[in-house]
Amino acid sequence: MNKTRTPAIEGWFRADEAKPSLLGTRCTGCGSVFFPREETFCRNPACTGTKFEEVELSTRGRLWSYTNNCYAPPAPYVSPKEPFEPYAIAAVELEREKMIVLGQVVPGIGVDQLEVGMPMELVLGTLYEDEKNEYVVWKWKPANG
């Protein structure tokens, strides 16, 4: 019974298992980058741009901060497992884009294994499953090397 791996949201990341990346947009007027994607109005107050091109964000960054969920969040969060298992959340700073992006941390890595400043890389992971699909979302994990 093979479930289909489906992105939990369309257009926010390249769902390439080998080389995933977050997808943002860049304003063609002023070059500002947005994640999640901005498609309508450039949020730079000095720019009236309405045209954006898709960009892939850096897939590696430094851990800006971290925490965890010891209790299951309320709906619309769906726990991938019952009973709920605590998981960590990371805020990772991307150097080129000069922005911080949140993401769940891969299972098996808890707050005790994390340290501010450590290098992190983007992977894909399971958000939750139903009968037909395994919903996939971006996650962070400590980078190798």
Partner 1 sequence: MTREVAVLGVGMHPWGKWGRNFVEYGVAAARAAMADAGVEWKDIQFVAGGENIRNGYPGFVAGASIMQALGFQGAQVASTYGACATGSQAISMARAQILAGICDVALVVGADTTPKGFFAPTGGGERTQDPDWLRFRLLGATNPVYFGLYARRRMDLYGDSERDFAQVKVKNSRCAVHNENARYRKAYTLEEVLASQMVSDPLRLLQICATSDGGAALVLCSAEYARRRTTKPVKIAGVSTVTPRYPQTSVEMPNFASDSAAAVRVPDVAFKDSIAKLAYEQAGLGPEDMSCAEVYDLSSALELDWIEHVGLCKQGEAAKLLREGVTALGGAQPVNPSGGLGAFGEAIPAQAIAQVCELTWQIRGQAKGRQVEGARAGVTANLGLFGHGSSVVVKA
Cis peptide before 76 (omega within 30 of 0): yes
Q: Under rule CB under 8 A, how many of the chain's residues touch partner 1?
A: 46
By CB under 8 A, tell whether 111 contacts partner 1. Answer: yes
Q: List the interface residues with partner 1, window 124-143 (CB under 8 A).
A: 127, 137
Phi/psi of residue 42, nearest 5 degrees: -65, 130
Gap between the Cα atoms of 26 and 91, Å rounded: 21
Interface with partner 1 (CB under 8 A), residue from 49, 52, 61, 104: 104
Q: How far is the CB of 48 from partner 1 (least distance, A)?
A: 13
Q: Which of 107, 97, 128 minimizes the C-alpha distance to 8? A: 128
Phi/psi of residue 114, nearest 5 degrees: -110, 150
- The residues binding partner 1 (CB under 8 A) are 8-9, 27, 30-36, 43-46, 64-78, 87, 89, 91, 96-104, 111, 116-117, 127, 137
